[in-house]
Structure 1
């Protein structure tokens, strides 16, 4: 795709999304009961911000991107489009999780096939209107409504897959990917720990946990999934968090502005974790609740919750975390609340896709940082600069003007050449001292 076409598509995409922002807001309110405020800051604004970044920086990747200043040769990388990219979005952030990767793929010069999630029908309708207005001839973007994954791969010559969703679906996709020899990026989830040590600012921890768990009704891939907290501060944290929950739900307006769960099946599953859970099945809503249990065989520790409910593990020794972590390793997000450097030095040994200290969700507010998972929580990173990397074939490039070492490389190998090479090696042996 020509550079000028990429920029034109990105500018038009931004314009059309802003044009349809009211329809997007109404659709998400119908699908998930998202408040207008939440739709603006978690769906529309991140997409517009990402597109602005791509418009500003795409020119850097249209030619050779230099790795170092040329002296005897020009060295760098060539970024080529991958080809035809299949993007499968998720239902929980249908605007954000479609248009951010799609914008990155457009910036990299790919043609695209889009698979929209059926759980959010109103949002799906608006997305189809936006894409139809952006590319009515479907030269660069096609919407695929195939019923099965196999149908999608059969209908299109796919060169790269970008998938956001569950590990179970990713596992099924992986079989098709291997069969068709396709590269991919998986953005999954996992059980993200929320760790509070004795050195934490408890008020801040309460505030950030509440924010992270209430955003989109807890249906966020990086939502805190379980609390691991020092026994010295557990009671204080619990009292303050429960007060915040009770105060919040005294307001009918605040309760109305909370997103509901995606369907009755999800609500039933979450209620099964609780002995005295409070839920409204008509509204598909559940009151936030913390379950204090150190029993890792409890079902609530076995799968990603995706609701405003979380177990709390109270520890006496910080080393207990290793056992907890090993049950659900390599989460997408890792939250640590502490003002003690030694705590970070201990916890950083546990791998995760993204680390956040004294905040939640914040990594999604900054496209100067890439975002992605590790092993169980995903493969590949995107957003900002990383989107060019993931949606492009990155090839090394060298254009030689003069090779000062040519004499030593080619036959015939003479004794004097070997002596000089040994002197060079000797020099390099001590060059780091």
Structure 2
């Protein structure tokens, strides 16, 4: 993009933001009825266009499993809206607080005020869930929104634009498309809040750009989410509980299991069980429509480079489908890696695809120490039915969220916050926490005709003031 076009895009984005801000100021506190109506219309529009969404994502990916789209994009979006509709009236009510004896008889309450215009930057891996989820919450909180979609999902973006146009005016919700330069300009706009979902590397740039306007940010990043297979658990059960999190969307998930910490004497058992379960889930893999492609050639080549680097440096690759991958195709079964070392690319950055390194350990404390020594992940998965083991790991590790004897499904809990910690993100949304993220909690102190504050006015040193000081400073 040349400089003239670059300035034109920037001016258009800024103009759109100003239009939305002006519209917001004309209606700074939408009624409950208005918010409810918009959410209901949004829900219905998604339901009406669900086949269009399935078809568009299949086109964008080359092949994306229709069930993957319904389970991981459409279903969570509808559930989120249903949950929000059920609780919105309660969330909107001012929260009564205690003024305390010192401020009596004044009353204190917290009002939840819409922020204004929220910017939402959406990745390509779950473009409906990660656009509709934040949008529904932003609308519930009374805001307007601009949504920057990924350039890797053009067919889906077209459908989503049509869906949203049926529900919202341009000064309420606007969809923005474009490549990295547009995303950079988008993140530099003076939003009232900015939510970014994507990589840690890009998240740092987004936060830096937002800081120029002191725009508050919620960063939903990724990282290397580990699975600890404890000594007590049956291996077949452990694999059954984690494999779906690695295979859904071909592992292109920010909370997908990134690597396995396995007892040293059970690594071969894990590999065999994973292969057996994978092949039962995806029989005749080459022709199985239930498994999703790697989204594009660029991402596929990145994954091939990671595998090649690991092999060159001494790792062993075991394809979960029992066959070698075929160059030129983007359908890649889980590639199980053993003998991995820290200098391999696969152990340095988030994998975001169907590659699964297995690291052996001798004692559980060694596995915990490994996690402690690395960046705090977005998710941690514990495979153990021993309560003492579960509590030991929970107490000694930090992560955005945890599943015990399950993987990825904690993201579907609407009544709980979702977010990272440290390099895996900051802030959180989903449910009430999302409503609070996209609201300003405004404290309102209300005094009546009696003015207790006059008792502390100068001149200082009166008997009443001295008595008050003795009573309260003790």
Shift of 1:340: 2.1
Aligned partner of 2:4 in structure 1 is none
Q: Which runs of 5+ in 1 are unaligned?
A: 427-433
Which of 174, 183, 191 is 1:142 aligned to?
Answer: 174
**Inter-partner Cα distance in structure 2 for 1:254 and 1:21:** 24
Provide the residue aligned with 2:120 in structure 1: 87
Q: 2:95 aligns with which of 54, 65, 70?
A: 65
Q: State which of 249, 252, 257 in structure 2 corresponds to 1:219.
A: 252
Please give the secondary structure, in 2, of the residue aligned with 1:328.
coil
Contact residue 282 and residue 290 of structure 2 kept, 8 A: no
Moved more, 173-182 or 328-337: 173-182
* Number of the residue aligned with 1:76: 109
**Residue 158 in structure 1 maps to residue 191 in structure 2:** yes
SS at match of 2:258: strand
* Whole-angstrom distance in 2 between the partners of 1:309 and 1:259: 14
Root mean square deviation of aligned Cα: 2.7
SS at match of 2:414: coil
Number of residues of Structure 1 aligned to a counterpart in Structure 2: 424
TM-score under structure 2 length normalisation: 0.82
Distance 1:305 1:151 in 2: 27
1:244-393 alignment, distance < 5 Å:
244-252=277-285, 255-274=288-307, 275=311, 276=317, 278-293=324-339, 295-326=341-372, 328-348=374-394, 349-393=396-440
Cα deviation for residue 124 of structure 1 reads 0.9
Q: Distance in 2 between matches of 1:2 and 1:338?
A: 48
Give the distance between the partners of 1:214 and 1:44, measured in 2 at CA: 18
Query: Contact between 2:105 and 2:452, CA under 8 Å: does it hold in 1?
Result: no
Contact 2:253-2:352 within 8 A present in 1 as well? yes
Within the candidate set 46, 53, 57, 1:28 is matched to 57
Segment drifting more, 116-125 vs 288-297: 288-297
Distance 1:334 1:211 in 2: 15
Greater mean alpha carbon deviation, residues 206-215 or residues 318-327: 318-327
More displaced, 360-369 or 322-331?
A: 322-331
CA distance in 1, matches of 2:390, 2:456: 49
Q: Distance in 1 between matches of 2:340 and 2:390?
A: 23
- Cα deviation code 1:193-216 (max 9, x no counterpart): 000111224222101221110011
Shift of 1:255: 2.9
Deviates more, 1:52-61 or 1:206-215: 52-61
2:25 counterpart residue number: none
> Unmatched 5+ residue regions in structure 2?
1-28, 312-316
What's the secondary structure of 2:359's corresponding residue? strand
CA distance in 2, matches of 1:93, 1:403: 57
Determine the C-alpha separation between the residues in 2 that align with 1:26 and 1:218: 20
Q: Secondary structure at the match of 1:224?
A: coil
> Is 29-38 or 408-417 further displaced after alignment?
408-417
Q: What SS does structure 2 have at the residue aligned with 1:180?
A: coil
TM-score if structure 1 supplies the norm length? 0.89
Task: For 1:94 and 1:117, locate their aligned partners in 2 and report how far apart those are by CA, in whole Å.
Answer: 8
Taking a change above 3 Å as real, the CA distance of residues 207 and 67 of structure 1, as seen in their structure-2 partners, is farther
Give the drift of 1:153.
Answer: 5.7
